[in-house]
């Protein structure tokens, strides 16, 4: 594996599971779907098939949410996955696309600079100059390809896209056509085409969706993990996967260390300690599971390259402080209060307290 | 003709059960319908067909001697028992209640509603549900029976239910599942069998029994044959019989709900009613009413979205392998499509649609409720006349009887039975032991009494329950504290405890210092006058302390950046707290308070608040006069914005000008400041000054004027002189220089 890709697409990574599901699946499938809605939900939530193939869970959380998401796509309405960062929106959308269309690559990444062409189509200017506007000179974007091939198209970070460009999606979602006025033609979507958008409504620098666009989506809000154990499970699963693909030689971190970071992030996020006894000030950052994951992985990298290979409090302290203290004045006060009031008092957390104290 | 006995096992308040019962009764055409209900209320059954009777209603069975122990048997329009009663009355069948009479139930059992569901049975339902792949027993039963609209033979379904229940009963017959509840069931089932035997003996041919599904297996003909009557008689032997009375009272959908503590309740009365009323297009109708409700609440709920939510709910049902979407699917589709993922509107939908707010009515000829009797008894013992005329009553709370009357009036006020109205009049000022009330009985008050009856059977317990109910639902402090005031005056120690708890928990999360501040004066009032009232004021002290601690911690930050309106509001709050702490004379409280007042006086905030703080410190002698003088000088020194200075002065002086009369230095400072103002600034600050001085009593103003006159006013020039000086500021000769030019422009107007 000398030229191994950094990250495989979901449909390749889980090809065996998808194939096994397709074989076991005897329920009706909507047009162009590779699996039935039931099988898609099983793929997402995990389970054991009749032939003994184990399906790993892709989403840890409420099964009903996944059912709503899949049922939405079966009704040809667009699906909007909302949530704060780190609630697995993109992850879920990728896996849904992989399971339903067998292809998760038709994707528009939303940024502040996403132009209309990225959503509709562009022109091959050399051809346009040579032959004038013809079908051959049209460069199809992911949406156009999805429409003509009947596949799912993902729009990541919809709320980062400027509002006027966002609204390009309205015609596509309601009329299921994409007009090309220059050619006096239009692309009509084939059955099986649909859009999964992800958005977050809390971050800085987002463009609120227009009501017209919102109306054309069914919204599923992915919550932050409900229980401590769920969150630890999510973090642990991802950290192990990342460690493998990044080839970090450090041993997989002890669950205990993950649990400490998750505890700290949860307490600060909820504004109270887990025992519910004391209230805490909340920092300005969102402290999502994604940030927990990056704190742990960077700690693992530190431990393996500069330490003795096992994750210690000193390895995670700097990453953790960096994630919590986003505002140098207010968040620092929050963190200091938290360190002195909670971390210091907690049994067995002395090492963490000292390590944090050094960095802060 | 042979006797036929049919057992219809149902779920209390299940619309599907009700439908099946109705169809089964139409097929069977029974001569007698025996219903699991209290025989104590046998005389009241006929009233169910009264024109004025609209469910939800409840049968109330109580002991006249101790009305606080009572049982409620609620009926909704969609309750199978209700439909069976109505059918029986219409078809002139003999309708009887066959449950164990309330009069024979062991006394001492705590008051309860008709909760014929021991907890084990719910677990049992759960087990059946799990076997069928459902997560929750209620949802499973709902799906299987209540949302059923098939046209299959109803008796076949009843037989199937009975079979399922009888196997469950076998499983749970083992001793380890036995509880006291089960033991209570033995005589009940024995009594039901005895009643059935009696009906058979009378020669009734076709008998239909409507009972909870759980009891169905032990009421069948085979079971009757198997169990000798003697055995049942033995089970019923030795149960003493007490006197009971019964009546109909109005009920609400909210109190049918499981959450309200009603054992046999359902989670979604509103949804069940929807299922009962509508026969087709369930999804379309339900989601349309959701959208209409959302539009009423000023939220978006377009028909286009209704269409999409119907489609999503159907596709969800398909994915879950169900024939038709149910409440779960509708709620999820509502959240996802109509609410765009925002869970807040769901709360309103839950309250208004899924549970519902329907209130029933009962015929006016229904027997008086125990609450009414308790009220009459109390009125008699307190020698209060009930009349339709206005009656003014002065109470001296030092007298035992008057105190009890006052308590009654306050309790009635809490129950929203406005018979006595409190009159705030001149006598109030004469002492805290006086109260004046205006009494007038109006006929509609009887209805208020009936409505209040659902909270309890004595005035005291009902008022307590009502307060506890409101306290549990309160979200902000002001209503809680005003209720506390009432509850204290009404001497409801139980209610006071629950209110204090609610105040504690609401104030812990309240970030609004203003609300916290406003909560203190009424509580302090309670503390101050608690002794006259003989109420246990010791409960209140810790609450006042914790509120004061919170207020003191947040006072200074809460006062930063106040505009004029906010500042004057804050001024009122500070004044009120100061006044009420003054009456308490608790050194601990006032030390805490003045410490913060001092900090606030020095902090950067509106001049009005700063000034007032110093005045409070001055009045309370917390600072020596020299320091206060320095402060006044500092606030009025020329470096300050004059408008801020005048606001400061208003805060400092408002209310009383005595301070200026007694302290010559302060008067001189104020005087010098006024004189130093340039004319335009003086004009701007004049209204504030007028407002401040205008609030003083006339003699005070006169004295201040005289003092100023006497002092010879060395620093103050008479204003006339000032305006003269102002006029002389311009040079007439230079002014005239422009006249020729002006004349050229405007022509010679002079002439």
From first to last of its 360 residues, what are the pLDDT tens digits of chain A? 446 777 788 899 899 999 999 999 888 899 899 999 999 999 999 888 888 888 988 888 888 899 999 999 998 899 999 988 778 888 899 999 999 999 999 999 999 899 998 898 999 999 999 998 998 899 999 999 999 999 999 999 999 999 999 999 998 998 999 999 989 999 999 999 999 999 987 666 778 888 889 888 999 998 888 888 888 888 888 888 777 777 776 666 678 888 888 999 888 888 778 876 666 778 888 788 888 888 888 888 888 888 777 888 888 888 888 888 888 877 887 888 788 778 887 888 888 888 888 887
According to the model, what pLDDT value does residue A195 have? 95
Both tokens of residue B424? Answer: 């705030």
Q: Are A123 and A181 in contact (CB under 8 A)?
A: no
Residue bearing tokens 């227009």: A210
B505 has a chain A CB within 8 A of its CB: no
Q: Where among A189, A221, A253 does a domain terminate? A: A221
User: Where in B23-164 does DSSP place strands (E)?
Assistant: 32-35, 57-63, 66-75, 94-97, 112-113
Residue A49 lies in a domain: yes
Contacts of B63 (CB under 8 A, 6+ apart): B69, B70, B107, B242, B243, B244, B245
Q: Are B34 and B93 in contact (CB under 8 A)?
A: no
Q: Do B311 and A77 touch (CB under 8 A)?
A: yes
Closest partner CB to A82 (pick from B311, B316, B341): B341
Residue A5 lies in a domain: no
According to the model, what pLDDT value does residue B120 have? 43
Task: Answer yes or no: do A160 and A290 share one domain.
Answer: no
What CA–CA distance (Å, rounded) separates B741 from B730?
A: 19
According to the model, what pLDDT value does residue B260 have? 54
User: Mean pLDDT, to the nearest integer, of B376-389?
Assistant: 81
- Identify which of A211-220, B172-181, B718-727 has the greatest average pLDDT: A211-220
Adjacent-strand bridge partners of B63: B66
According to the model, what pLDDT value does residue A52 have? 85
User: Mean pLDDT, to the nearest integer, of B180-188?
Assistant: 72
According to the model, what pLDDT value does residue B107 have? 55
Cα dihedral across residues B724, B729, B730, B732: positive or negative: positive
Task: Answer yes or no: do A207 and A340 share one domain.
Answer: no
Structural domain count of chain A: 2
Task: Answer yes or no: do A130 and A258 share one domain.
Answer: no
Task: Answer yes or no: do A160 and A246 share one domain.
Answer: no
According to the model, what pLDDT value does residue B111 have? 40
Closest-CA distance of chain A to residue B329, Å: 9
Question: What pLDDT digit, counting tens, does each position of B240-257 carry?
Answer: 778 888 888 878 887 777
Q: Are B373 and B67 in contact (CB under 8 A)?
A: yes
Whether the bond into A129 is cis, omega within 30 of 0: no
According to the model, what pLDDT value does residue B288 have? 93
What CA–CA distance (Å, rounded) separates A230 from A236?
A: 10
According to the model, what pLDDT value does residue B728 have? 54
What CA–CA distance (Å, rounded) separates A217 from A193?
A: 14
In this predicted structure, the answer to whether residue B145 has a pLDDT above a threshold of 80 is: no
Task: Answer yes or no: do A118 and A143 share one domain.
Answer: yes
Q: Rounded to the nearest 5°, which phi and psi values hold at B714?
A: -70, -30
DSSP A181: G
Contacts of B363 (CB under 8 A, 6+ apart): B47, B50, B51, B52, B53, B248
At residue B1 the predicted structure's pLDDT band, cuts being 50, 70 and 90, is very low
Contacts of B638 (CB under 8 A, 6+ apart): B676
Closest-CA distance of chain B to residue A279, Å: 10
Angle among Cα B309, B13, B339 to the nearest 5 degrees reads 20
Residue A3 lies in a domain: no
What CA–CA distance (Å, rounded) separates A252 from A257?
A: 11
Question: CA–CA distance from B637 to each of B338, B643, B676, B680, B736 (Å)?
Answer: 62, 12, 10, 18, 39
Closest-CA distance of chain A to residue B142, Å: 19
Percentage above 70 pLDDT, chain B: 86
According to the model, what pLDDT value does residue B441 have? 77
What CA–CA distance (Å, rounded) separates B524 from B583?
A: 8
Task: Answer yes or no: do A80 and A64 share one domain.
Answer: yes
Closest-CA distance of chain B to residue A326, Å: 24
According to the model, what pLDDT value does residue A194 have? 94
Residue A70 lies in a domain: yes
Both tokens of residue B637? Answer: 């020194």
Higher pLDDT, B436 or B105: B436
Question: Residue A108 is part of a domain; what is its CATH number?
Answer: 3.40.50.300
Question: CA–CA distance from A358 to each of A323, A346, B201, B348, B418 (Å)?
Answer: 16, 18, 91, 50, 68
Q: Where among A177, A198, A221 does a domain terminate? A: A221
Residue A185 lies in a domain: yes
Contacts of B346 (CB under 8 A, 6+ apart): B331, B334, B335, B339
Which of B135, B317, B336 is the best substitution to test chain A (most A C-beta atoms within 10 A)?
A: B336
Is the whole model's pTM more than 0.90, yes or no?
Answer: no
User: Mean pLDDT, to the nearest integer, of B675-681?
Assistant: 79
What CA–CA distance (Å, rounded) separates B390 from B440?
A: 5
* Burial B300-315, CB ≥16 within 10 A → b, else e: ebeeebbebbbbbbbb
Supply the mean pLDDT for chain B. Answer: 79
Closest partner CB to B308 (pick from A67, A70, A77): A77
Q: Where among A191, A221, A251 does a domain terminate? A: A221
Closest partner CB to B336 (pick from A72, A211, A215): A72
Q: Are B661 and B648 in contact (CB under 8 A)?
A: no
Neighbouring C-alpha atoms within 13 Å toward the C-beta of B86: 19
ipTM for this prediction: 0.79
According to the model, what pLDDT value does residue B719 have? 43
Angle among Cα B573, B579, B585 to the nearest 5 degrees reads 135
Question: CA–CA distance from B684 to each of B575, B635, B636, B677, B715 (Å)?
Answer: 27, 18, 16, 10, 22
Task: Answer yes or no: do A161 and A307 share one domain.
Answer: no
Which of B341, B343, B508, B509 is the best substitution to test chain A (most A C-beta atoms within 10 A)?
A: B341
Residues in B touching A219 (Cβ below 8 Å): 336-337, 339-341
The residue of chain A with its CA nearest to that of B340 is A219
Q: Do B308 and A67 touch (CB under 8 A)?
A: no
**Helix, strand, coil content of chain B in percent (nearest 5):** 65, 10, 30
At residue B33 the predicted structure's pLDDT band, cuts being 50, 70 and 90, is very high
The residue of chain A with its CA nearest to that of B301 is A215
Adjacent-strand bridge partners of B95: B33
Both tokens of residue A285? Answer: 């950052």
Residues in B touching A74 (Cβ below 8 Å): 315, 318-319
User: Where in B55-193 does DSSP place strands (E)?
Assistant: 57-63, 66-75, 94-97, 112-113
Residues in A touching B312 (Cβ below 8 Å): 68, 71-72, 75, 77, 218
Neighbouring C-alpha atoms within 13 Å toward the C-beta of A281: 16
Task: Answer yes or no: do A209 and A263 share one domain.
Answer: no
Provide the domain limits for residue A293.
Answer: 228-359
Task: Answer yes or no: do A41 and A169 share one domain.
Answer: yes
In this predicted structure, the answer to whether residue B463 has a pLDDT above a threshold of 80 is: yes
Higher pLDDT, B746 or A204: B746
Question: CA–CA distance from A189 to each of A76, A110, A196, B420, B744 (Å)?
Answer: 11, 22, 15, 73, 82
At residue B720 the predicted structure's pLDDT band, cuts being 50, 70 and 90, is very low
According to the model, what pLDDT value does residue B113 have? 42
The residue of chain A with its CA nearest to that of B336 is A219
User: Mean pLDDT, to the nearest integer, of B417-432?
Assistant: 67
Closest-CA distance of chain A to residue B314, Å: 9
Question: CA–CA distance from B89 to each of B33, B49, B58, B249 (Å)?
Answer: 10, 7, 18, 20
According to the model, what pLDDT value does residue A67 have? 92
According to the model, what pLDDT value does residue A98 have? 94
Question: What pLDDT digit, counting tens, does each position of B483-495 carry?
Answer: 887 887 788 877 8
Residue A40 lies in a domain: yes
Question: What pLDDT digit, counting tens, does each position of B196-222 carry?
Answer: 988 888 888 889 999 888 888 888 888
Q: Do B337 and A218 touch (CB under 8 A)?
A: yes
User: Where in B429-504 does DSSP place strands (E)?
Assistant: 434-439
In this predicted structure, the answer to whether residue B470 has a pLDDT above a threshold of 70 is: yes
Length reported for chain B: 751
In this predicted structure, the answer to whether residue B115 has a pLDDT above a threshold of 50 is: no
Q: Which three-class secondary structure state does DSSP give residue B206?
A: strand
Closest partner CB to A220 (pick from B304, B305, B336): B336
At residue B715 the predicted structure's pLDDT band, cuts being 50, 70 and 90, is very low
SS3 of B693-711: HHCCCHHHHHHHHHHHHHC
Task: Answer yes or no: do A206 and A287 share one domain.
Answer: no
Residue A67 lies in a domain: yes
Domain ranges of chain B: 4-260, 278-356, 370-460, 624-751
Which of A45, A66, A71, A194 is the best substitution to test chain B (most B C-beta atoms within 10 A)?
A: A71
Task: Answer yes or no: do A16 and A153 share one domain.
Answer: yes
Task: Answer yes or no: do A205 and A253 share one domain.
Answer: no
Adjacent-strand bridge partners of B394: B436
Residue A210 lies in a domain: yes
The enclosing H or E element of A121 equals strand A121-123
């Amino acid at each position: 594996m000398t030229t191994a890709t950094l990250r495989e697409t979901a449909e390749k990574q889980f090809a065996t599971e998808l194939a096994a599901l397709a074989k076991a699946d005897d329920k009706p499938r909507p047009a162009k779907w590779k699996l039935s809605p039931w099988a898609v939900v099983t793929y997402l939530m995990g389970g054991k098939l009749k032939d003994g193939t184990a399906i790993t869970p892709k989403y840890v959380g409420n099964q009903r949410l996944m059912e709503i998401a899949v049922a939405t796509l079966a009704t040809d309405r667009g699906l909007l996955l909302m949530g704060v960062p780190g609630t697995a929106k993109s992850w879920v959308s990728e896996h849904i696309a992989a399971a339903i269309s067998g292809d998760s690559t038709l994707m528009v990444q939303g940024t502040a600079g996403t132009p209309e062409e990225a959503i509709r189509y562009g022109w091959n200017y050399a051809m346009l100059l040579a032959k004038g506007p013809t079908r051959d000179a049209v460069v199809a974007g992911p949406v156009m390809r999805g429409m003509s091939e009947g596949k799912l198209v993902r729009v990541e970070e919809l709320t980062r896209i400027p509002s006027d460009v966002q609204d390009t999606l309205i015609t596509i979602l309601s009329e299921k056509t994409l007009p090309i006025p220059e050619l006096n033609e239009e692309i009509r979507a084939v059955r099986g085409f649909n859009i999964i958008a992800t958005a977050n409504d809390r971050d800085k620098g987002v463009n609120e969706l227009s009501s017209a666009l919102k109306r054309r989506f069914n919204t599923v809000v992915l919550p932050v993990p409900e229980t401590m154990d769920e969150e630890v499970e999510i973090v642990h699963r991802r950290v192990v996967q990342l460690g493998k693909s990044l080839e970090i030689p450090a041993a997989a971190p002890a669950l205990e260390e993950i649990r400490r970071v998750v505890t700290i992030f949860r307490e600060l996020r909820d504004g109270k300690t887990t025992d519910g006894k004391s209230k805490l000030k909340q920092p300005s950052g969102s402290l999502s599971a994604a940030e927990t994951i990056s704190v742990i992985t960077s700690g693992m990298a530190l431990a393996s390259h500069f330490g003795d290979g096992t994750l210690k409090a000193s390895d995670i302290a700097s990453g953790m402080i960096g994630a919590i203290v986003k505002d140098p004045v207010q968040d620092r006060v929050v963190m200091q209060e938290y360190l002195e009031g909670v971390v210091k008092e907690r049994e067995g957390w002395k090492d963490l307290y000292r390590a944090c104290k050094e960095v802060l | 003709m042979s006797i036929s006995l049919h057992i219809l096992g149902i779920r209390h308040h299940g619309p599907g059960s009700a439908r099946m019962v109705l169809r089964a009764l139409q097929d069977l055409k029974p001569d007698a319908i025996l219903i699991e209900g209290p025989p104590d209320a046998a005389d009241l059954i006929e009233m169910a067909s009264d024109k004025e009777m609209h469910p939800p209603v409840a049968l109330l069975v109580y002991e006249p001697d101790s009305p606080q122990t009572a049982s409620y048997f609620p009926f909704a329009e969609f309750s199978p028992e209700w439909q069976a009663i109505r059918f029986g009355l219409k078809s002139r069948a003999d309708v009887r209640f066959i449950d164990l009479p309330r009069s024979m139930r062991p006394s001492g059992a705590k008051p309860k509603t008709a909760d014929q569901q021991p907890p084990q049975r719910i677990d049992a339902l759960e087990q059946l549900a799990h076997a069928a792949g459902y997560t929750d027993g209620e949802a499973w039963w709902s799906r299987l029976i209540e949302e059923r609209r098939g046209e299959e033979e109803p008796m076949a379904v009843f037989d199937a239910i009975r079979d399922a229940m009888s196997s469950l009963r076998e499983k749970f017959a083992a001793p380890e599942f036995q509880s006291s509840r089960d033991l209570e069931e033995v005589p009940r089932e024995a009594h039901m069998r005895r009643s059935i035997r009696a009906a058979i003996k009378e020669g009734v041919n076709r008998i239909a029994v409507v009972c909870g599904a759980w009891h169905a297996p032990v009421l069948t003909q085979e079971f009757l044959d198997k169990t000798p009557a003697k055995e049942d008689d033995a089970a019923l032997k030795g149960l003493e019989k007490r006197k009971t009375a019964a009546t109909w009272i109005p009920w609400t959908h909210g109190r049918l709900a499981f959450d309200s503590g009603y054992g046999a309740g359902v989670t979604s009365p509103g949804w069940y009613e929807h299922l009962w009323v509508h026969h087709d297009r369930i999804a379309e109708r339900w989601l349309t009413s959701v959208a209409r409700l959302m539009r009423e609440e000023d939220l978006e709920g377009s028909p286009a979205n209704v269409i999409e939510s119907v489609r999503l709910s159907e596709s969800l049902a398909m994915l879950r392998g169900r024939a038709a979407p149910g409440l779960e699917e509708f709620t999820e589709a509502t959240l996802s499509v109509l609410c765009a993922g925002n869970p807040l509107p769901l709360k309103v939908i839950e309250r208004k649609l899924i549970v519902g707010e329907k209130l029933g009515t009962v015929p006016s000829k229904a027997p008086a409720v125990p609450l009414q009797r308790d009220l009459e008894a109390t009125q008699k013992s307190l020698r209060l006349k009930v009349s339709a005329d206005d009656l003014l009553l002065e109470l001296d709370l030092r007298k035992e009887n008057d105190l009890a009357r006052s308590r009654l009036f306050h309790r009635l006020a809490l129950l929203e039975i406005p018979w006595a109205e409190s009159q705030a009049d001149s006598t109030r000022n004469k002492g805290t032991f006086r109260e004046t009330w205006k009494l007038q009985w109006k006929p509609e008050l009887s209805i208020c009494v009936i409505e209040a009856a659902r909270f309890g059977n004595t005035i005291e317990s009902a008022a307590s329950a009502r307060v506890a109910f409101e306290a549990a639902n309160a979200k902000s402090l002001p209503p809680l504290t005003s209720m506390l005031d009432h509850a204290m005056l009404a001497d409801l120690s139980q209610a006071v405890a629950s209110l204090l708890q609610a105040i504690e928990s609401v104030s812990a999360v309240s970030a609004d210092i203003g609300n916290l501040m406003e909560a203190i004066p009424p509580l302090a009032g309670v503390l101050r006058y608690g002794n006259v009232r003989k109420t246990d004021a010791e409960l209140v002290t810790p609450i006042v302390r914790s509120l004061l601690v919170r207020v003191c911690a947040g006072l200074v930050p809460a006062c930063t950046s106040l505009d004029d309106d906010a500042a004057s509001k804050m001024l009122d709050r500070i004044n009120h707290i100061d006044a009420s702490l003054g009456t308490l004379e608790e050194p601990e409280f006032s030390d805490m308070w003045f410490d913060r007042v001092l900090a606030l006086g020095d902090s950067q905030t509106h001049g009005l608040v700063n000034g007032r703080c110093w005045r409070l410190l001055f009045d309370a002698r917390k600072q020596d006069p020299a320091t206060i003088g320095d402060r006044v000088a500092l606030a009025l020194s020329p470096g300050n914005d004059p408008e801020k200075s005048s606001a400061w002065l208003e805060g400092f002086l408002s209310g009383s000008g005595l301070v200026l009369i007694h302290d010559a230095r302060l008067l001189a400072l104020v005087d010098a400041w006024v004189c130093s103002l340039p004319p335009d600034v003086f004009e701007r600050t004049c209204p504030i000054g007028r407002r401040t001085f205008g609030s003083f009593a006339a003699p005070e103003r006169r004295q201040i004027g005289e003092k100023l006159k006497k002092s010879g006013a060395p620093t103050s020039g008479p204003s006339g002189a000032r305006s003269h000086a102002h006029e002389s500021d311009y040079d007439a000769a230079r002014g005239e220089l422009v006249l020729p030019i002006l004349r050229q422009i405007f022509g010679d107007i002079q002439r």
